[in-house]
Structure 1
Amino acid sequence: MAGIRITDPPAPGSAVRFAPDFGQRFILTVDTEEEFDWNKPIERSGHTVHTIARLARFQEFCQGAGICPIYLVDYPIATSPAAADILRGPLAEGRAEIGVQLHPWVSPPHDEDVTEYNSFAGNLDPALEREKFTRLRQAIEGNFGKAPLIYRAGRYGIGPNTAQILADGGIAIDTSVRSNFDYSFAGGPNFRRLPLTPWWIDADRRLMELPLTTVYSGMLRQIGDWLYPRLWRIPQMRGVLSRLGIMERIPLTPEGVTLPEALRGIDIALDMGLPVLVFSFHSPSLAPGYTPYVRNEDDLDALYDWWRGVFAYLRKRNVAPTTVVEIMASVELA
């Protein structure tokens, strides 16, 4: 996989094909991480892991809805006995799945300076990115009893060496690409030209890219990938276009997206024929006061209501939940 970059446009013929009975499915991914102040620069120390206890309630909630959540855990969570105690049982029973989320600033070895540029793991020296990934992957398998098959870079920070590192580490699916977003202003990757449909990153079909789902809605949505980035100097105009129903960008997440917006996004994604809708949110949102999206108990109740509404609507649209194991078993490799 030398020279293959996940951020490059997919090669012709690399689209993932699924068995005819797969239909359209969805997965729920949880960026399972430490708590930190989102309004301050990234730091190596000073974080907490208080919200780990809230994973138990969320897991029970998902089990009650027939959903198998995918926990993408970073190093502070991977090495937490409390997290292992909560998730080891559901993982062993197939009621949850585990994956890797690399936050390089809190993942050993700590050989790099803590800067915004270095917060994107793909910007690190290749040997350092590999060592951080390897140690994190080993910690996950050792503490949770399951080998992770899916990866998401913290801050979506994949780089030119990430694909090879993941393939060598036994990862089957990368889900770092956030289509229709651009992080190059901070030194991160640009995903604006990458598709929403999954594709094989390498010719040998060892590693799949399964992008997070973000769609454009409104009368101008067909030119959203051209127009939306051009409004970054006047962000208030984005709000105007959204309120007027002319154009809005809708990621499938309860963080900053209302339920009506999410349902509209689901309809658009399904009409586009996406085989897998990828939902995501951050685990610190499971307790008040740790993210901008859940400031109090009312916000937390609203987050759970958001998921209830989404699950009900997906059932109405005959979109079933799926898992990493099911996805890999349903792909057509011929």
Structure 2
Amino acid sequence: MEPSLFKSIHFLRDSLQKFAMRLSIIPILDALARRTFTSAGLRPESITINSETTIHCWLPPSLPLSSPQNPNNQISKPSLLLIHGFGPVTTWQWRAQVRALSRHFDLIVPDLIFFGRSTTTSPERSELFQASMMVALLKSLGVSGESIAGIVGTSYGGFVAYHAARMMGEEWTGKLVIASSDLEKKDEDDRALMERVGGIGSVVEIMLPRTTDDLRKLLKISVRRPPRFPPPEFLLRDVLRNLYQDNMERKIELLKGVTLGNKDLFQLTPLRQEVLILWGEHDGIFPVIKAFQLKKKLGEKVKLKIFKNTGHVPQLEAPDEFNKVLLSFLLGSPNSTL
């Protein structure tokens, strides 16, 4: 090969690599996720809870009750609160559910505090505090307990959902859905998780990856069916830069502030409400055995559905089945698949 041609090929290859490193596809994917929400009739709003806290969320035209979009102060459908887990903002985590659910419910889909544009100046960092802000959000929207059909939480959002259900009081007759969320998590569970991952010094490093190697490890234990071709290094860097770096220190404080496992701060007790537990068969973060243990602890009104060949995010790995089971439970279908 001519030296000049050889140099040209290498120059072209290096140029393409540098271009790929500068190119970010995450904003495009984020726009598509947001488009899924808007096509479901939802719009983004920032709701001031108090002098310290603002919650960014996605709402239907009927909410808030006092909004110009709803001059008659009427709720068109029962309300359903969706609470996301650790990781990207809510549009990424519930994008496969909002269209199906919006046909039956007025969806309230917030970003938890320190995710997206939800923020607070309060020093509180526990999931209890997150739950109290979710309940306060419902009140700010004018949504009464009678009109809330259910609360759905996944992973860390399941911790928040459980506390929110407790805070709603005995008069609340809605339903609770806990997905991929080990409410009985203890220190030994964290140690077992670190052993499964390997080469990790703390749970914080797993849930909030700072390097592409850490991100690969998180994907490996989160998803049962990884992409056929491993994601390139530049794409993983793009994910870290756009989806994980914001409010990193505050999110670390959130993980350290979890009260589960602290016997002085948290006691898991049964609920009066009907409860559905959803879990991936091959969940690498919270092993499926924890789902069966949780079912025993939460009382008689508990149903359990295990999704085959899925990991920690069955709502994304098996969205059609997940949505079918979820709607069957929430709507009380006589032909339940549970």
TM-score (norm 2): 0.32
Highest Rg: 1 or 2? 2
TM-score (norm 1): 0.32
